[in-house]
Amino acid sequence: MTLVLNDDDVARLVTMAECIDVVEAAYRDLGLGLAVNAPRRDTFLPSSRPEAYYSFKTIEGGLERLGVMAQRINSDLITYPAVDGVRRRVKVPNAPGGRYVGLVFLYSTDTLELLAIITDGHLQRLRVAATTAVGARYLARPDARTLALFGSGWQAEAAAWAIAAVRPLERIRIFSPTPEHRASLARRLDGHLAARVMASSTPEEALGGADIIATATNAQQPVVLGAGVAAGTHLTCITTLEFDDEAWRRCGVIVTSSPPGGYENYRSGGLAVREVLSDRDRRDGAEAGRFELYRDKIHLLSDLLVERAPGRTDPGQITLLDKSWGLGIEFAAVGKLVYDRAQAAGAGHQLPGDWFTQVSHP
């Protein structure tokens, strides 16, 4: 049997706290040599819209302990418009009904079967935020109570939930450039978390007294300046360049889910949007340069979890969790949890397993 599950199924079947635990276990497996990841790979084709291009993104990973291999794909139309003076990478919902296409395929390494096809919208947020939380669990000061959150999208919301699951937050201050967006997220979170959640009208206001600073934006340039970061703060970002170089310089220890590099892309020759793609290349180069510059204090999250790398050694240290590059094992871990729960609950669309297997030797 092959299950087809959607975002609502995922939201109903698993909690953020459970996702944090399975993602932590997956990174520990990786540290123990019991997991495999294949780096992200993008394939680009021109689109019929001159300002946009088609992007097919894949990422894969498997876990020995759970006996699963996961592959996540995104079939996207990409543009890079300037929003509030900042260039952003924006996916266009070009599927029928104004929808997006991202899917997680989960396979059994034992029976080989396609166990499930899961839309990746909610699962994606869970796995990114869960990794952020694993970092905060091991790197933030135990007495951290105040979170400054930059960004007001769904990923920012998930980051707040996730960090609140590993530290008993009392205050969350949110900054994002659009007042309605930050106010709206503050209202949503305020009713559901124990912390008091407020929108801040300036970045400086959000940063005041913060023990943890989380960025979850799609900005292509720094949103937090290191000069404004207090000693002892834990920083956590989803793209390397959200914190400026000064922030990285001031860190005592930097932990990354995965270093840049290993990323591959392939382009069809007819691609008419070279300018946009070279912008992407410049960003990739900037990230790699940052990692090279600070390599002596950068460690892998998987090493931290098996005590091969140091965590925070001093309450005054600034620490950073960089969650720029995803790993397939995050999808394997959360995907398997979702699948097990769906099986137990009889959730999703159940398709005959033999639709996706064959007698012929492929």
Question: Which 23-52 residues touch a second copy, going by CB under 8 A?
Answer: 32-38, 41, 43-48
d(CA 325, CA 256): 9
Residue 74 CB, shortest distance to a second copy, in Å, is 6
Structure tokens given for 206: 């959000």
Q: Write out the H or E segment, with its range, that includes residue 119.
A: strand 114-119
Binding piece for a second copy, criterion CB under 8 A, among 94-102, 157-165, 227-235, 237-245 = 94-102
CB 342 to a second copy: min, Å: 14
Q: Residue 237 burial (CB < 10 Å; 0-12/13-18/19+)?
A: buried
Please tell me whether residue 103 binds a second copy under the rule CB under 8 A.
yes
DSSP letter string over 228-290? GPPTT-EEEESSGGGB-HHHHHH-SEEEESS-S-S-EEEE-TT---HHHHHHHHHHHHHHHHH
| Residues in 184-223 that interact with a second copy by CB under 8 A | none
Should residue 76 be labelled a site residue for a second copy when binding is judged by CB under 8 A? yes
Distance between CA 56 and CA 1 in Å, rounded? 27
Residue 127 CA to residue 53 CA, distance in Å, equals: 26
Among 15, 81, 83, 109, binds a second copy (CB under 8 A): 109
Among 20, 23, 24, 54, which residue sits at the site for a second copy (rule: CB under 8 A)?
Answer: 54
According to the binding rule CB under 8 A, does residue 12 interact with a second copy?
no
Find the part of the chain contacting a second copy (CB under 8 A) among 113-121, 243-251, 285-293, 311-319. 113-121
Q: Scan for tokens 């930050």, then name that residue.
A: 182
Q: What is the DSSP string of 170-210?
A: -EEEEE-SSHHHHHHHHHHHHTTSSSEEEE-SSHHHHHTT-
Beta strands in 14-92 (DSSP E): 35-46, 53-63, 68-79, 82-83, 86-87, 90-92
User: Does residue 306 touch a second copy according to CB under 8 A?
Assistant: no
95 binds a second copy (CB under 8 A): yes
Contacts of a second copy in 149-168 (CB under 8 A): 153-154
User: In the bound complex, what is the minimum distance in angstroms from residue 303's beta carbon to a second copy?
Assistant: 13
96 binds a second copy (CB under 8 A): yes
Site for a second copy in 255-284 (CB under 8 A): 264, 266-270
Q: Is 102 in the site for a second copy (CB under 8 A)?
A: yes
Q: Can residue 178 be called a binding residue for a second copy (CB under 8 A)?
A: no
Q: Of 37 and 146, which has the nearer Cβ to a second copy?
A: 37
